[in-house]
């Protein structure tokens, strides 16, 4: 199972919106609405930001939103803030009754 | 509240094995899916496998099939991940993770256990 494909880096200025893509296959992202997104600061455990493609856990800012089209899922961060600078990973359930993470995207706030 | 507390950092020789523990509290342990994820230094997250204690049978990523063993002990609400025949490439932080709010996503993470393989 190959990792889902994410851009290595995305950057934006404070207040702008950015979108991170996560491309899989018809056996994972394209087949199930079980895509989740995680934020990770250096040296810390990841934190769940989005689950089931579009849902936000309690406590996660509404500036974070998720979507999916075909084999590609996306995470959008609106009103970018300095605290959003982190690594972001997508994850999908797969037809092999397994999970696969994305390659990770470093978000930089300019 | 939900807590997943892992065992401490380990330094191992190549060819030896490591067993990392994960003590769960605040959950109904027997029906709580527990997953193991690892992250090599400077690298991304990698799903290793998972288990539901009630069923007792773990499923593993193809890469780790036949190598890693995930088990649970209901009496102590503890999950374990054992990795034999360690190589330098197994140096990583190993996380135990709970799917507490629902299936198919990982909402509670342990603090991570650094396993260093060094000669």
Nearest CA in chain B to A55: B105
- Residue B69 neighbours by CB under 8 Å, 6+ apart: B58, B80, B81, B82
Cβ neighbours of residue B109 under 8 Å, at least 6 residues apart? A45, A46, A47, B4, B95, B96, B97, B98
> Quick one: pLDDT band at residue A35, thresholds 50, 70, 90?
very high
Q: Is B105 in contact with A36 (Cβ distance < 8 A)? A: yes
Q: State the Cα–Cα distance between residues B52 and B31, nearest whole angstrom.
A: 6
Question: B109 to chain A: nearest residue by CA?
Answer: A45
Interface contact A3, partner B, CB < 8 A: yes
The pLDDT of residue B29 is 87
Tell me how close the Cα of A13 comes to any Cα of chain B, in angstroms: 25
Instruction: Say yes or no: A1 contacts chain B, CB-CB below 8 A.
Output: yes
Rounded Cα gap, residues B60 and B65, in angstroms = 5
**Per-residue confidence (pLDDT) for residue B54, from 0 to 100:** 86
Instruction: Classify the C-alpha dihedral B47-A94-B25-A48 as positive or negative.
Output: positive
Spell out which residues of chain B touch residue A45, defining contact as CB-CB under 8 Å: 95, 109-112
Q: Per residue of chain B (119 residues), what is the pLDDT tens digit?
A: 999 999 999 999 999 999 999 999 998 888 889 999 999 999 999 999 999 988 889 999 999 999 999 999 999 999 999 999 999 999 999 999 998 888 899 999 999 999 999 99
Q: What is the pLDDT of residues A5-17, one digit of tens each?
A: 999 999 999 999 9
- The pLDDT confidence band at residue A60, using thresholds 50, 70 and 90, is very high
CA distances for A32 relative to A42, A74, A93, angstroms = 30, 14, 7
Residues in chain B, how many? Answer: 119
Residue of B nearest to A60 (CA): B107
Residues of chain A contacting residue B47, judged by C-beta atoms under 8 Å apart: 91, 98-101
CB contact under 8 A, A93 and B106: no
Q: pLDDT tens-digit profile of B87-107?
A: 999 999 999 999 888 889 999
Q: Report chain A residues whose CB lies below 8 A from the CB of B50.
A: 99
Q: What residues form DSSP beta bridges with B36?
A: B49, B96
């Amino acid at each position: 199972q190959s990792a889902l494909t994410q851009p290595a880096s995305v950057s934006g200025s404070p207040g702008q919106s950015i979108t991170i893509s996560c491309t899989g296959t018809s056996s994972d992202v394209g087949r199930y609405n079980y895509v989740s997104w995680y934020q990770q600061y250096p040296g810390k455990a990841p934190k769940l930001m989005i689950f089931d493609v579009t849902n936000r856990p309690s406590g996660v800012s509404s500036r974070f939103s998720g979507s999916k089209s075909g084999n590609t899922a996306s995470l959008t961060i609106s009103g970018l803030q300095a605290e959003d600078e982190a690594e972001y990973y997508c994850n999908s359930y797969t037809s092999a009754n397994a999970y696969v993470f994305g390659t990770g995207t470093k978000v930089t706030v300019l | 509240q939900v807590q997943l507390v892992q065992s401490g950092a380990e330094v191992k020789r190549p060819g030896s094995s490591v067993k990392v523990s994960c003590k769960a509290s605040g959950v109904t342990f027997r029906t709580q899916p527990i997953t193991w994820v690892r992250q090599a230094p400077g690298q991304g997250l990698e799903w290793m496998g998972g288990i539901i204690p009630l069923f007792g049978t773990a499923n593993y990523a193809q890469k780790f099939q036949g190598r890693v063993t995930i088990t649970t002990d209901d009496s102590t609400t503890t999950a374990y991940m054992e990795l034999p025949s360690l190589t330098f490439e197994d140096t990583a932080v190993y996380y135990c993770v709970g799917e507490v709010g629902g299936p198919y996503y990982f909402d509670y993470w342990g603090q991570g256990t650094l396993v260093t393989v060094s000669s």
